[in-house]
Amino acid sequence: MCGLAGAVVAVGGRISRQRLEAMTNVIAHRGPDGKGIWISTDGQVGLGHRRLSIIDLSPAGAQPMTSASGRFTVSFNGEIYNFGALRQELESAGARFHSHSDTEVMLAAFDAWGVSATITRLAGMFALAVWDATENALWIARDRLGIKPLYYSTKDSELTFASELRALVVWQGKLPPVSAQGLTEYLRLGYVPGPASIFDGIQKLPPGCFAVYRAGQLSEPQAYWKMADVVSAGMAQPLTDTTQALDTLEEYLHAAVASQMVSDVPLGAFLSGGIDSSAVVALMQAQSGRPVKTFSIGFHERGHDEAQHAAAVARHLGTEHTELYVTDTDARAVIPQLPDIYDEPFADPSQIPTFLVSKLARERVTVVLSGDGGDELFAGYNRYVFVARFWQRLQLLPSPLRRLAARALSSPSPAAWDAFYERAAPLLPRHFIPALPGQKVHKFASILPSSSLLALHARLVAQWANPKTVLNPRWYHDGLLWQDQLGQDDALLAPEQQMVWDTQTYLVDDILTKVDRASMRVGLEARVPLLDHNVVEFAWRIPMSMKIKDGTGKWLLKQMLYRHVPQALVDRPKMGFSVPIDAWLRGSLRDWAQTYLAEDRIIAEGFFDARVVRQTWEQHLKGAIDAGGPLWTLLMFQLWLEKVKRWV
């Protein structure tokens, strides 16, 4: 796990070592254990690297690294989990190695099989740049699920690339213009979905793709692994026997966890007490000869605390557990760091506890395993359970009636709905009482006017469902970026379609981005065994009847977990890594928020409609609405805008 940066300049030009080192230095947090710079003999190609030593801690594992033939030089971020098997195959063909690193194995594979053929055989998380001196070509590539980031820019007849956006800005020496498309999508989703970035002229390489730069031209990204192909192949070979599916799922997860426990430095795990992280930790502990080190974050606010559940699971499994309770004061201390941690505007409030739990874990370990990906693969989000039935029924109601119902449901405040559910709790079955009921009722009201499945999904995942209402007109970009990319496959069931969308958007640019930036900020490597591509491909062979059953998701994954953890410890309403941002903004964060939402400031900067911002803020403070999510989206942009001006 490291950070990479680099450039290829035009014929006749030469790489500035000073600029390349400046790029590399701003991602030093990704690799605090070492720094490397390589510049080609003609001066046209430069690769930078920051090293976090995980496998082979000796200098023999340092990068950039050149292959034995001298043809290939690579700067690489990530881990190749099947490097041992690849090494054995290469050794049997005559290759010899001088280190125990996965980087050297990768380079030997490039020599033996070529770059394209090798990439398709790599199992792991990675972003890489490799120079082919024979073909005078530079390849950039990203892992199948987008676990590791890679930004790039082609400008002024040169290619620049890096693990984080700021490195490209440092190379350019000035701030690029804000992208209207990136800003619109950010307001809608709370993150900037790829391949766009918040800046014009800088893009993200899509997951599962590579691109080749030669003779001053970068090819279009070419997919070596497509989610659509995985879905089609899996559904063409559906599993029919539940016992066989359960046993095989455990085998795949056991193997994925085992491969990702290989480390030459201390290793632990994030444990929220939910299904996904509990499954990962259970399989880790089953394969460990000592207690696994586990880490969790809790909140004092009612309805947001999962720490007690994590502690119960930890006690049952016998892990060495550490927990930290987060207050709004802790949040206030982290907030000024967020633009530097996340590079782009990023407004998932769980970024705060994710950073804090990463910081907590880094005090004890250098590598952690995380449970991310389970919701998208095994139908874990609540919206997967009700949306199909809801969409069918929604289409039967005239649009005017739906709009009327939406107004009626949203009229009482979320707090009023919470109070209603609390009074009704003794009379209702347990599964009729969701966590944070007021927020869910208001969310339900917001989706009633939806005109298509995609529109329904977009509203469900949106912060500002219609960014046009809050953006200055000149910054509004019409159209859904990810809708244009993904489209809609009517051959899939509604939950399956949602899972595909989420895997290619929300998972990549929110969940994985959040974990990567938070963990790497403190020099911690986070691994995600549920996103081993073999597990992903197998998961799409599991029919929906084994994922959603009796109104709840993750059915098959739960059955596997029950083999290791008592059902009573994990069978509870899904909460997620939620943060009490609504209460915080009305409490100790109020004055801070007011500074960034001040009307004169909004007008001067010119991005947002000051009247809409003021009304939303006032209604939130009164408790008439809970607008913590949309307001946090504005606040994170405002804070980013202030900090980004200091980058150059």
606: buried, middle or exposed (CB in 10 Å: 19+, 13-18, 0-12)? exposed
Judged by DSSP in three states, 400 sits in: helix
Do residues 268 and 368 make contact, with C-beta atoms less than 8 angstroms apart? yes
Do residues 163 and 3 make contact, with C-beta atoms less than 8 angstroms apart? yes
431 phi and psi, to 5 degrees?
A: -75, -5
Active-site residue flag, 209: no
Q: What torsion do the CA atoms of 308, 311, 315, 317 make, to the nearest 10 degrees?
A: 120
Sheet holding 367-369, edge to edge: 320-326, 293-299, 267-270, 367-369, 525-527
Cα–Cα distance for residue pair 63/24, rounded to 1 Å: 12
Q: Which of 563, 535, 529, 578 is nearest to 261 (CA)?
A: 529
What type of residue sits at position 313? V
Cα–Cα distance for residue pair 626/7, rounded to 1 Å: 46
First to last CA, the chain: 27
Side-chain-facing half-sphere of 510: CA atoms under 13 Å? 24
| Longest Cα–Cα distance in the chain | 78
Q: Write down the catalytic residue from 2, 369, 388, 512.
A: 2
Burial profile 348-362: b = 16 or more Cβ within 10 angstroms, e = fewer: bbbbbbbbbbbbbbb
- Residue 106: which H helix or E strand, with range? helix 102-113
Q: What torsion do the CA atoms of 199, 202, 208, 212 make, to the nearest 10 degrees?
A: 170
Q: Token pair of 163, please?
A: 């693990």
How many CB atoms are located within 10 Å of the residue 642 CB? 14
Beta bridge pairs of residue 549? 552
Please list, in sequence order, all residues whose beta carbon lies within 8 angstroms of the beta carbon of residue 195, skipping any fewer than 6 positions away: 203, 204, 205, 206, 221
Judged by DSSP in three states, 112 sits in: helix
Judged by DSSP in three states, 554 sits in: coil
User: 267: which DSSP letter?
Assistant: E
Q: Token pair of 31, please?
A: 């690799």
Kindly give the pairing relationship between strand 367-369 and strand 267-270: parallel
Helices (H) and strands (E) in the chain, counts: 31, 18
Give Rg (Cα) of the chain. Answer: 24
User: 99: which DSSP letter?
Assistant: S
Q: Which of 326, 324, 325, 315 is nearest to 278 (CA)?
A: 315
CA angle 156, 161, 163 (to 5 degrees): 155
313 phi and psi, to 5 degrees?
A: -65, -40
Residues with active-site annotation: 2
